[in-house]
């Protein structure tokens, strides 16, 4: 699971993924549900080799909060699925 630290980091990762499925967990370090889901996400990432897993923490920095606003993420934890730089499931 790759941690994302800025919008540029997020965009570059989506671009590099090309047509691979990208699963993004939108979370917060102090959110209990996020803490409970993360180990499952790590386990899933170890078995799904053709999928890229990302973690964006809202409370990490102002840069990560900007991604939440841009992607219109309002509830945590939240999952989005991207393919070819397009959000396919929210």
Question: Model-level pTM?
Answer: 0.91
Give how far the C-alpha of residue 57 lies from the chain's centroid of Cα atoms, to the nearest Å: 8
pLDDT in tens, 24-81: 999 999 999 999 999 999 999 999 999 999 999 999 999 999 999 999 999 999 999 9
Beta strands in 37-85 (DSSP E): 51-57, 78-83
- CATH numbers and ranges of domains, the chain: 2-81 (3.40.30.10)
């Amino acid at each position: 699971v790759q941690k994302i630290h800025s919008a540029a980091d997020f965009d570059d990762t989506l671009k590099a993924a090309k047509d691979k499925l990208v699963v993004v967990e939108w979370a917060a370090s102090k959110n209990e549900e996020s803490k409970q889901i993360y180990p499952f996400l790590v386990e899933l990432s170890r078995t799904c080799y053709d999928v890229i897993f990302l973690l964006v923490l809202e409370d990490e920095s102002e840069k990560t909060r900007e991604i939440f606003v841009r992607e219109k993420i309002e509830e945590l934890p939240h999952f989005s699925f991207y393919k070819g730089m397009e959000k396919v499931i929210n």
